[in-house]
Amino acid sequence: MTQKHLIVLDLDGTLLRDNKTISQKTKEVIFKAREAGHEVMIATGRPYRSSEMYYKEMQMTTPIVNFNGAFIHHPTNPKWGIRHTPLDMKVTRDIIDASQDFKFNNIIAEVLDDVYYHYHDEKLMNMFNLGNPKVTTGDLRNFLPASPTSMLIHTDQEQITQIQRHLNDVHAEVIHQRSWGEPFHIIEIVKAGLNKAIGIQQACDYLNIPKERVIAFGDEDNDLEMLDFAGIGVAMGNGIDAVKTAANEVTLTNEEDGIGIFLNDYLNLKTH
């Protein structure tokens, strides 16, 4: 066989089609790659509770990167340990306090798989309900019991820039932030210095695979560090321009079996 590679898969817009399922063709190719001796793992911005179903569907036996690197663990090997890097509690409280000066719709704090809402909001709750988290609603300054893995500020589009500017001015050294678009305008905040590449490096060390033999697939700005780290960074055809520029290769879209077709060819797997 070709030398052992580590194949790293983002979920939304990458492994998952737009209807949040994995195509049969891509699934067959990934199973074939594993049969050939390669390792496969997930690196996602999602919490574990909403990525576990895909981990199990793909019968994975590797570490998984969640919350863009803020939580890394090995679901099938507890001895591997847990790498959890939450936000500092004082920074969290400062951000919640400062948010009161801006127009925001809600603040959500996730402590691993527990979710805390500043205000009750059915639409948001439906969005974050995958995996049936423990949910608490109320002023986060009173109800948040521990440092959050990730914090989300839901606001209107015209407020995004103002809030992000404030966060940059006051907390740039201790937090990393990015914004989402539709269906909700959200600013996502994790501790500074975290990204998917950190977790992938830990998996490489564990699996004894050099980064030159990492094949990583992504489509969004939270995949940039991962694609830069990988020996072969592959942008999805539906990816943003910055991802395509950063990648070594561009494959077809998530709706066109981009992962399966690339791996089949690159690893010479000979699936149909």
Q: Please state, in angstroms and rounded to a whole number, the distance separating the CA atoms of residues 226 and 233.
A: 8
97 belongs to the catalytic site = no
| Cβ–Cβ < 8 Å for 189, 87 | yes
Q: Please state, in angstroms and rounded to a whole number, the distance separating the CA atoms of residues 169 and 70.
A: 23
Q: Please state, in angstroms and rounded to a whole number, the distance separating the CA atoms of residues 213 and 4.
A: 7
Kindly state the tokens that stand for 245.
């520029």
**Catalytic annotation, pick one of 10, 114, 223, 257:** 10
Angle, vertex CA 93, rays to CA 90 and CA 97, nearest 5: 140
Q: How far is CA 248 from CA 64, 68, 218, 229, 259, in A?
A: 23, 21, 12, 11, 14
Residue 245 φ then ψ, to 5°: -70, -40
CA-closest candidate to residue 186, choices 134, 110, 241, 75: 110
Active-site residue list:
10
